[in-house]
Amino acid sequence: MTKGAPLRALVLARDLLLTLVALPFLVPLRVLPWNAAGRLGSLYGLAAWVFLGTSRRAGLVNLRRAFGPSLSRAEAGRAVRAVFASLGRSLAEGIRFSALPGRADGSWRALYDAEDPGLEARILADPRPKVFVTGHLGSWEVAMQMLDLALEGRGAAVARRVDNPFLDALLRRVRRGDGALIEKRGAVVPALAALRSGTSVAVLLDENGGRSGPFPLFFGRPASTRKTAALLSARTGAPIVVGAAVRRGERFLFRLAFFEPPGDGVPTPSDVLETTEKIVRVWEAWVREDPLQWRWIHWRWKTRPGGHEETYTRRDVNAAFAAQGPAAVEVSA
């Protein structure tokens, strides 16, 4: 037995125990009726709101800096609470959708309306593999599963592996059908190979891109953004499809935007940057229409140009609400 074997065994035992503890909370989301599962997910989100202080503060800071002094601290606080509830509901919807009996016969399509049915039909009829781009708006887990079903398993999604292997296996079983999963770390090479073999690839857009990302404006502030989607498109000639499933009552509105590959076959770095900026502008417009369905509690603007990072302490919250800036629109559902 190697020196580290006992420690690894303890870690695995801990991970298994945590997964077993999580199961009683996750199983009801899979077996309850759709609306009941959604309400329970919202309650889970509100429970998280109670305990995740740093995320609460990040949401307050992000909302204030995005919408300006017309957003009071009380309004921002209510918005953050609603965002937590929305995130919990998204989790529930993804788990419940994975258990729908109509996945095989196509009746799942009755859950959504296409914002542009003509564009949807053209995208599905286009034989080229595509780079699908989405983010944490509306019910992104449902959006990814709908995409997998629409592609009939001819797609792959870039996703981060959960450190707990038991929980990771559980989530992967829920998230995907026949499509493949590409580990987020080092994803570019396998994603390029997938696209060149004719397999579409889905990536997330709206996370902090770190120090190496370009900084397009997002809600008027430079936001580090991964240019992975534009690079994959430029290197393979695959068009880009931006998509999101936002809630409209008890149904989803599936929003789509389509971009041809950048650079007309000979892309330059500026072409890649311009395409990334276009994607971010589309995403911002969608978030502005449904702000309480986006993940404001993420550290989206944490990395700043020049290399320093934002923090989300109580002092930062106080400073954000003391600062004056341009007038902003009201945040509403």
**pLDDT of amino acid 333:** 47
Could you give the CA distance from residue 18 to residue 112 in angstroms, rounded to a whole number?
Answer: 35
On whether residue 33 sits in a domain, the answer given is no
Residues of the chain scoring pLDDT < 50 = 327-330, 333
On whether residue 6 sits in a domain, the answer given is no
Could you give the CA distance from residue 235 to residue 192 in angstroms, rounded to a whole number?
Answer: 8
- Residue of 28, 16, 8 whose CA lies nearest to 167: 16
**pLDDT of amino acid 318:** 96
SS (H, E, C) the chain: CCCCHHHHHHHHHHHHHHHHHHHHHHHHHHHCCHHHHHHHHHHHHHHHHHHCHHHHHHHHHHHHHHHHHHCCHHHHHHHHHHHHHHHHHHHHHHHHHCCCHHHCCCHHHHHEEECCHHHHHHHHHCCCCCEEEECCEECHHHHHHHHHHHCCCCEEEEECCCCCHHHHHHHHHHHCCCCEEEECCCCHHHHHHHHHCCCEEEEECCCCCCCCCCCCEECCEECCCCCHHHHHHHHHCCCEEEEEEEEECCEEEEEEEEECCHHHHCCCHHHHHHHHHHHHHHHHHHHHHCHHHECCCCCCCCECCCCCECCCCHHHHHHHHHCCCCCCCCCCC
Q: Beta strands 180-183 and 240-248: pairing type?
A: unpaired
Write the pLDDT tens digit of every residue in 156-173. 989 888 888 888 887 777
On whether residue 186 sits in a domain, the answer given is yes
**pLDDT of amino acid 265:** 65
Contact residues for 21 (Cβ-Cβ < 8 A; gap 6+): none
CA dihedral 212, 232, 236, 263 (to 10 degrees): -60
Q: Which domain holds residue 112?
A: 105-307
Into how many domains does the chain fold?
1
**pLDDT of amino acid 232:** 94
Could you give the CA distance from residue 242 to residue 173 in angstroms, rounded to a whole number?
Answer: 24
**pLDDT of amino acid 177:** 56
**pLDDT of amino acid 330:** 43
**pLDDT of amino acid 133:** 97
**pLDDT of amino acid 75:** 97
Q: Residues, the chain, total?
A: 333
On whether residue 38 sits in a domain, the answer given is no
On whether residue 328 sits in a domain, the answer given is no
Angle between helices 165-175 and 140-150 (to 10 degrees): 60
On whether residue 8 sits in a domain, the answer given is no
Write the pLDDT tens digit of every residue in 283-319. 999 999 999 999 999 999 999 998 899 999 999 999 9
Q: 243-280: b or e for each residue (b if 16 or more CB lie within 10 Å)?
A: bbbbbeeeebbbbbbbbebbbeeebeeebbbebbbbbb
Write the pLDDT tens digit of every residue in 277-290. 999 999 999 999 99
Could you give the CA distance from residue 28 to residue 233 in angstroms, rounded to a whole number?
Answer: 40
On whether residue 142 sits in a domain, the answer given is yes
